[in-house]
Amino acid sequence: GDSVTQMEGPVTLSEEAFLTINCTYTATGYPSLFWYVQYPGEGLQLLLKATKADDKGSNKGFEATYRKETTSFHLEKGSVQVSDSAVYFCALSESGGTSYGKLTFGQGTILTVHP
Amino acid sequence: NAGVTQTPKFQVLKTGQSMTLQCAQDMNHNSMYWYRQDPGMGLRLIYYSASEGTTDKGEVPNGYNVSRLNKREFSLRLESAAPSQTSVYFCASLLDRGTDTQYFGPGTRLTVL
């Protein structure tokens, strides 16, 4: 079945540091890939997505590129802020068939940014 | 436009008690989902409803039942709660498969003693 593996956390950075959170996936078809973010005490919000190979999703300074050859979708940001402290989830959704948009999530990575 | 709403926000149950978690969306979405979130395990799908009148099991359905009451509402029922069901429960909705993006509610934190 489908699966998503994220880098082990938690991740602690100083403000303005570079961020990378690794994500790799296993899927039988051609999935869409997502990064969701969960701020303390809140539900999940879509951060960015990519629907086909070589697509780059971007939002709020975060970027991730859909790499089919390495089955990866790593999240990057050039300069993190304290307000980026949250839990980040990588996820995939199989397109078409009987998937009905079901999401498969990675285990989540806790990011803490210090001033 | 409230998006996806869930009630209650917090609940404490004793082992063997029953309860229903409520979820509603006002975005006219066709599909709705229930997930549970446990530390170190991400979110796992419990049940989903692809469209009004249909429900199907997800990855971890044991101990739960669902009802798609109408297009707006999708409830999750625990008939006999167990400590292993202590978790945070999230409801989500999706317009249709072509749009891909699910919208999540704020969650219900459930503790079973």
What is the per-residue pLDDT for A108?
Answer: 93
Query: Hey, which residues 40-99 in chain A have their CB within 8 Å of chain B?
Result: 42-46, 49, 51, 89, 93, 95-96, 99
A49 → closest Cβ in B33, B48, B101: B101
Indicate if the pLDDT at residue A55 is higher than 90: yes
Nearest Cα residue in chain B from A109 = B40
What is the per-residue pLDDT for A42?
Answer: 86
* Average pLDDT, integer, range A20-34: 91
* Average pLDDT, integer, range B75-101: 89
Judge: A44–B104 Cβ closer than 8 Å, yes or no. Answer: yes
CA atoms in the 13 A half-sphere facing the CB of A49 = 16
- For residues B92 and B103, the answer to whether their CB atoms sit within 8 Å is yes
Query: Hey, which residues 64-103 in chain B have their CB within 8 Å of chain A?
Result: 90, 92, 94, 96-97, 100-103
| Contacts of residue B3, Cβ cutoff 8 Å, sequence gap at least 6 | B25, B26, B27, B103, B105
Q: How many Cβ pairs closer than 8 A exist between chain A and B? A: 63
Question: Mean pLDDT over all residues of chain A?
Answer: 91
Judge: B104–A45 Cβ closer than 8 Å, yes or no. Answer: yes
Indicate if the pLDDT at residue A11 is higher than 90: yes
What is the per-residue pLDDT for A99?
Answer: 58
What are the φ and ψ backbone dihedral angles of B29, each rounded to 5 degrees? -80, 150
pLDDT, tens digit, 9 for 90 and up, residues B24-63 = 999 999 999 999 999 878 899 999 998 898 999 999 999 9
- For residues B49 and B74, the answer to whether their CB atoms sit within 8 Å is yes
pLDDT confidence tier of residue A101, bands split at 50, 70 and 90: confident
Strand partners, B109: B10, B88
CA atoms in the 13 A half-sphere facing the CB of B76 = 34
Indicate if the pLDDT at residue A98 is higher than 60: no
* Average pLDDT, integer, range A75-99: 87
Indicate if the pLDDT at residue B100 is higher than 90: no
Instruction: Please classify residue A103 by burial: count the beta carbons closer than 10 Å to its beta carbon, then call 0-12 exposed, 13-18 middle and 19+ buried.
Output: buried
